[in-house]
A and B are shown apart, each in its own frame.
Chain A
Amino acid sequence: MSLFRLDGLTKRFGGLVAVDDLSFEVDRGEIVGLIGPNGSGKSTVFNCTMGRYKVSDGSIHFDGSEITDYRTHEVVENGLSRVSQESNPITEMPVAANIKLFTLPNSVLAFRGGATDEEIYQYAARIDLEDKLEEMPDELPHADIRRLEIAKALATEPEMLLLDEPFAGMNQQEINDLVDKFEELREEGITMIVVDHNMGGLMKLADRIVVIHNGSKIAEGSPEEIAENEAVKRAYLGSTEAM
């Protein structure tokens, strides 16, 4: 049985259909790429999954339970975590406290608790951020801010990560390092969906790629199959972007 399943997911904003009857599954331990030209609905899929948008139609299942109407914190408690496209650290707190926030119990009476300093160090070390724990987020270079977002997501101990454009704004070296890190996380048992608008970082990383265009799935297959797919080429040709 798959770990994650979208079943006819539909999201309408007024007259606009952002996601149109989209279905796909992700198996445990897989890394699935979700690509499509800008505005094709990729981020909307994540926003629906994380309970940020109310789903118009269809359902979302994760790890045996239906999470379609869950609120964000309930989705996270169920083992899903998202690394958003925009970085949003709390600028008043150092890196360590930003990570610690993601380990705090969701209980109003839990005055103490959450990760110890050692555990925070470990979360940071998984993504090479352990030397920056004392720094304030606005002192960090872009790539480290992105690492902090990943460290925060890891601190919720997710079974599955939703990665929204993780390679945006990074140079080739940084992309390669990050691809290696994601491979390591997969070895540790984390399933992933990676959104990107081009195939660059995904060719090596993804086991399977789902392509959406105008909210609908137009292709699904191995990275090699997708690279040769005519419908995908046409979709990208219509936009100004290169694959």
Chain B
Amino acid sequence: MSSDTGRLGGPLNSIADGYNDRFGQVFGELNGLQFALIIGSLLVLLLVPVWAPLLGMSGLLRTLALASIWAILAMGWDIQSGYTGYISFGHAVLSGGAAYTTALLIGNVNPDLSLAVTLPLSVLAALTIGLVIAVPSLRLKGPYFSLVTFVAGLIFYQLTYAFSDYTGGELGVRVGRIDFTVGGFEITTFDPVMRYYVMLVPMLLIAVTLLYVARSNVGMIFVAIRENETAVSAAGIDTTKFKIWSFVLSSIPMGIGGWLLAHFYGTVNPLNFLLVDRSIELIAMAVVGGMSSILGPIGGAFLVIVLREEVLRIFGATGRWVMLWTLILLVLVFARDGLFRKLWHYLGRLGSRDGGEN
């Protein structure tokens, strides 16, 4: 094993160094093994339509498309809650708000509205809801802040029933699929392969953007707020402004994710979008992967969704949820820092030992 990684480590490390020279300052430095993990995962994800059918697992296209959307939501939660330590238990309100904006526009205004209208308005709705929650509640600390976000989630859930003339109550509103043309090429999410890329590409772009933010001064200030808010104001930094900024940076991906999820299911209903379980699920994904790392929540989202949609189906419709939450509980107890953070640090140690030998 060690001789294998030793032989591999050399060339991998030199490729990784090329990356480090160019991008290390911006996205953080990697060793050869970490670099291989990133590039390997990226290739696996980009080539799903090639390898999944060969392995007789075409159903994975749907599962991984869904996982991509949840990865967006988990990252969106992470840049706000994971980084600043102001833990939100109501983040599904942001994605749900975006999804319902699309639903109300398509259901009540014009069923043929293009995404050029619904997407920006949905993101704007998520942003507005985010600011309405953030501005008054961010002066609250600890459990009070979390409770406010939680209760906001309950209110939004009930609103969908209170205004069922517009929202369709429990049944929800049909929003259909995404159709658009790029350079004369027609893209439709009726096609499972195209749908997969329509979900995957935004996820990757959001990941790169949020990694850039997280590894910048802004991310450093967020972490410092989590660790010691008084020290941050003593540094001449307006913590209120930065906490609101974290909500802005979170609301935009939450809005995009909510919009994608609306079109993934084709129907927007309270159960899939606003039930408090959804808020807890995206926290669970971020924590299972390793919160305040951006990459961790992506891994967490893919792990949780693949378990829920593929592996745990053997336990039946309800049993899979019991098993899933039990597994999440075990991770919380035995690997609180997150599975992907543990893997990352393991590769970090392994890689640096190789570096020492060479």
Cβ A104 vs Cβ B234 within 8 A: no
Residues of chain B from 182 to 240 with CB closer than 8 A to chain A in the complex? 212-213, 216-218, 220-221, 223-224, 227-228, 230-239
Chain B residue nearest in CB terms to A86: B230
Is the CB of A178 closer than 8 A to any CB of chain B? Answer: no
Specify which of A73, A81, A88, A110 is in contact with B228 (CB 8 Å cutoff): A88
A104 touches B237 (CB 8 A): yes
Q: Are A111 and B234 in contact (CB under 8 A)?
A: no
A93 to B292, CA, bound (A): 14
Q: Is the CB of A77 within 8 A of B235?
A: no
Contact partners of A102 in chain B: CB under 8 A:
234-236
Chain A residues near B228 (CB, 8 Å)? 88-90
Bound CA span A72–B236, Å: 7
Q: Are B217 and A104 in contact (CB under 8 A)?
A: yes
Q: Using Cβ atoms and an 8 Å threshold, which residues of chain B touch A153?
A: 234
Q: With both chains docked as a complex, state the minimum distance between the C-beta of B103 and any C-beta of chain A, in angstroms.
A: 32
Residues of A within 8 A of B231 (CB): 88-90, 101, 152
Interface Cβ pair total, 8 Å cutoff: 79
Determine whether the beta carbon of B217 is less than 8 Å from that of A72: no
Residues from chain B with Cβ under 8 Å of A112 in the complex: 216-217
Residue of A nearest to B213 (CB): A111
Contact with B along A98-112 (1 / 0, CB 8 A): 001110111010111
Number of residues in A with C-beta < 8 Å to the partner? 32
Could you say which residues of chain A place their CB within 8 Å of the CB of B245?
Answer: 108
B226 → chain A closest CB, angstroms: 9
Question: Contacts A88-B231, A104-B217, A111-B213 given: A71-B238 contact, CB under 8 Å?
Answer: yes
Instruction: Report whether A101 and B233 are in contact in the complex, using a CB–CB cutoff of 8 Å.
Output: no
A73–B236 CB distance below 8 A? yes
**Most interface-central of B213, B238, B241 (chain A CB within 10 A):** B238
Closest to A104 in B: B217
A71-88 near B? 1/0 per residue, CB < 8 Å: 111001100011010001
Q: How far is the CB of B209 from chain A (nearest CB, A)?
A: 11
Q: Is the CB of A72 within 8 A of B227?
A: no
Does A238 touch B at the CB level, under 8 Å?
no
Contact between A101 and B221 (Cβ–Cβ < 8 Å)? yes
Residues B234 and A72 in contact, CB atoms below 8 Å apart: yes
Compute how far the CA of A158 lies from the CA of B5 in the bound complex, rounded to whole angstroms.
Answer: 51
In angstroms, how far is the closest chain A Cβ from the Cβ of B70? 27
CB pairs A–B below 8 angstroms (14 shown): A71-B233, A73-B235, A90-B227, A90-B228, A92-B223, A92-B227, A93-B224, A100-B220, A101-B235, A102-B236, A104-B221, A108-B241, A110-B218, A153-B234
- In addition to A92-B227, A156-B235, 12 A-B residue pairs with Cβ atoms within 8 Å of each other are A72-B234, A76-B234, A89-B228, A90-B224, A93-B223, A101-B220, A101-B224, A101-B232, A101-B237, A102-B234, A106-B241, A108-B241
Which residues of A are in contact with B by a Cβ distance under 8 Å?
50, 52, 71-73, 76-77, 81-82, 84, 88-93, 97, 100-102, 104-106, 108, 110-114, 152-153, 156
Residues of B within 8 A of A (CB): 212-213, 216-218, 220-221, 223-224, 227-228, 230-239, 241-242, 245
